[in-house]
Chain A
Amino acid sequence: MAEKFDLQEREVWDGNYAASQAMRQAKVDVMAAYPITPSTPIVENYGAYVANGYIDGEFVMVESEHAAMSACVGASAAGGRVATATSSQGFALMVEVLYQASGMRLPIVLNVVNRALASPLNVRGDHADMYLGLDAGWIQFGAFNAQEAYDLALCAFKIGENHDVRLPVMVHQDGFITSHTAQNVYPLTDKVAYSFVGDIDPVDDMLDFSRPVTYGAQTEEDWHFEHKAKQHKAIIDSVPVIEEVFSEFEKISGRKYKRVESYMMEDAEVAIVALGTTVETSRVAAMKMREQGIKAGVVAPRVFRPFPFNLIREALENVKSVAVLDRSSPGGAMGALFNEISAALYTTPKRPLVTNYIYGLGGRDFAVQDAIDIYHDQKANADVGHITTDIQQFSGLRGPKLGFFQTKRS
């Protein structure tokens, strides 16, 4: 039996601490991990809970992130609850195994504290690591602050382990901005949290020898395609379970989560689409735009795998001009989020104008004023009915403005 952990109704936690508390309250059986800034405290905290008897689990401090995810796969196939955390290069090192975890349909919760990828080496937050995992077949949630890092991590266990889902889940939070900034967080009591998450009911448990199971077989062209199609379907089909768990969570916490969070979008003419902490910054900017009489709104995919294609269409189809913000250098292409949002909008009858802003790389601050500037560009587009800037720009870059890809100006 684990020792009792004293919790206040309101705690002052940073995002890392919030994520680790969710692991403790979910009674994670095995955590296999390797440290990397800025996610390190999550695994250290779990280690401290084990060392002080607050949890009965096994803490496996492996020799690399690749091994961490590999051990999580082995542990999950052995039928218990599994979680870990990583960032940046560690995430990149895990990528091979991320595909293997999802291909074997193993529930694992991975807290990703987003950080830039080298080179140049940089420990600050951007979304380069997250973008590397978008095709890995995991469910992916974005937390905008520490409270959400905690809430979504709890939901992640329940969703991933659901028998209709059986998929690994990532919960993203922004490096340093969320992970290291103390905020008010309202935790659930241990009792409520645990009865919400519940016990894991394993499927194809390697430790159940009455029914031996083979994991990770080879398929080649005779079956691989069917497996991948089924896996894709499983990810898309996780939607009702995600929604059900979010609404159950609302009942116990009063906090309502949606797959796409729309802010002041009812009558918006111009919009920003963003992820992570940028959502809150953009919301403040939208509020200020409204004071100037400009109908601005913010659309934020909270669940970006499975990608909420229809909800994005619905949220944005009546807007005139949309700015999609990508916090990752696309290396000679449009930003990944831009591509997805554009694809969703292409099939709407009115097809809003869409531009792409690359911003905040390597932790460069994204201020309210940056978002306001972007809104002004959108307003100009909306007024004349075509894109007035380069389609892709770097926002907040020192030196001369960098823009790419132009439309024919009329």
Chain B
Amino acid sequence: MAITSVKNLKEFSTANDRFEGAHTLCPGCAHSMIVRELMNCTDDNLVVTANTGCLEVSTAVYPFTSWDTSWIHIGFENAASAASGAEAMYKARKKRGTLKDDKPVKFVSFGGDGSTYDIGFQWMSGAFERGHDFTYICLDNENYANTGGQRSSATPIGATTSTAQAGSHSYGKKEKKKDIVAIMAAHGAPYVAQLAPNKWKSMAKGFQKALETEGPCFINTVSPCCTEWRFDPKDTINITDLATDSLMFPIYEIVDGHELNILYRPKNILKVEDYLAAQGRYKHLFKPEYRHVIDEIQKNIDEYWEMLQRREEARI
């Protein structure tokens, strides 16, 4: 059941207490905000499966757990398969009548961008093709944060990471970020969205839609990482504002693989420079010789935004 009173942030943030604040994520880490927004938007019984990554290592350190709901971590790549198995068992036991109560159960998987875009992609793709009734949420901080900030296929052009370093001969990552949202929509998933924790109402709504939609749903959420993006922990939401208002992270949904809706249109679209300048990982781009990289990032953003608007208009 969805919680409907999401008008007031204070009330919303205390709506449900199935994810405890006592975890070891960095102060200012957006992962925990996103998880709380998910937990607070529903009253349904939840089975949460998690890939290895910051969220997992920081929220279930024996003998403690932050999860006041069923939770399982197997490995770096297989949260989607764990959800597939648990969901299949739910169906089998429902048929056999061996469940203790008949309250609906929702299945949710969390993965970082590393596990989602890269190593766990096959497992997720397989689970989507099979049509399991679950929601996969990618906490996209654009790097392998838990192993110390290596590049992933979600790392944008120009960012410096420990394995795509900026140096005297390099401006950092050279390859474009993988368009995971389009790829998951192309799986024919009934609901796919890109969301951001600063837009908490649309995030809660998106989560609710995904939970209520039968079949596999995918949500990519920007999750600023103060440690690897190099900004002050108090600025997480400010950075997220810059991400959504520069359209580096456009907020939109795709229903049934074709109906695209833009969920947030910034009143003043900011230059991407404002977003880049607020983070240490892009600092080197402000040297004159790398001006072309900033221009390229801006061009990519403009083209993508244009494409989203056209798709929204054309309903394709």
Contacts and interface: CB of A to CB of B under 8 A. Distances in A.
Interface residues of A, number: 48
Interface of A: 29-30, 32, 56-58, 60-64, 66-68, 70-80, 82, 96-97, 100, 104, 199, 205-210, 212-220, 223, 227
A29 B70 contact: no
A70 B81 contact: yes
Contacts of B148: none
B85 A70 contact: yes
A74 B47 CA distance: 10
Interface stretch (B25-33, B34-42, B59-67, B212-220): B59-67
A56 B93 CA distance: 10
B83 interface: yes
B61 A100 contact: no
Interface of A: prevailing SS: mixed
Nearest to A101: B74
A223 B72 contact: no
B203 to A, nearest CB: 24
Contacts of A97: 74-75, 78
A212 B92 contact: no
A62 B86 CA distance: 13
A56 B85 contact: no
B60 A79 contact: no
Contact of A62 (B70, B103, B130): B130
Nearest to A204: B70
A209 B84 CA distance: 19
A113 B123 CA distance: 24
B89 to A, nearest CB: 4
A165 to B, nearest CB: 20
Nearest to A108: B85
Interface stretch (B94-102, B167-175, B227-235): B94-102
10 contacts: A56-B95, A62-B84, A63-B125, A79-B98, A205-B100, A206-B86, A212-B68, A213-B70, A217-B73, A227-B62
B133 interface: no
Given A32-B84, A215-B73, A217-B60, 8 more contacts: A71-B85, A74-B83, A75-B88, A76-B85, A76-B89, A82-B89, A209-B45, A218-B56
B61 A80 contact: no
Contact of B67 (A60, A80, A199, A212): A212
Contacts of A60: 84-85, 88, 130
A112 B297 CA distance: 52
Interface residues of B, number: 47
Contacts of A68: 81
B32 to A, nearest CB: 16
B92 A57 contact: yes
B91 interface: yes
A60 B129 CA distance: 12
B75 A80 contact: no
A29 B96 contact: yes
Contacts of A209: 45, 69-70, 100-101, 103, 105
A78 B61 contact: no
B78 A207 contact: no
A110 to B, nearest CB: 14
The 10 closest A-B pairs by CB, nearest first: A74-B85, A63-B126, A71-B85, A74-B82, A70-B81, A75-B85, A70-B78, A78-B89, A216-B73, A206-B70
Contact of B85 (A72, A100, A215): A72
Interface in B167-216: none
Given A80-B92, A100-B74, A217-B62, A74 B123 contact: no
Contacts of B92: 29-30, 56-58, 80
Nearest to B18: A212
A191 B105 CA distance: 33
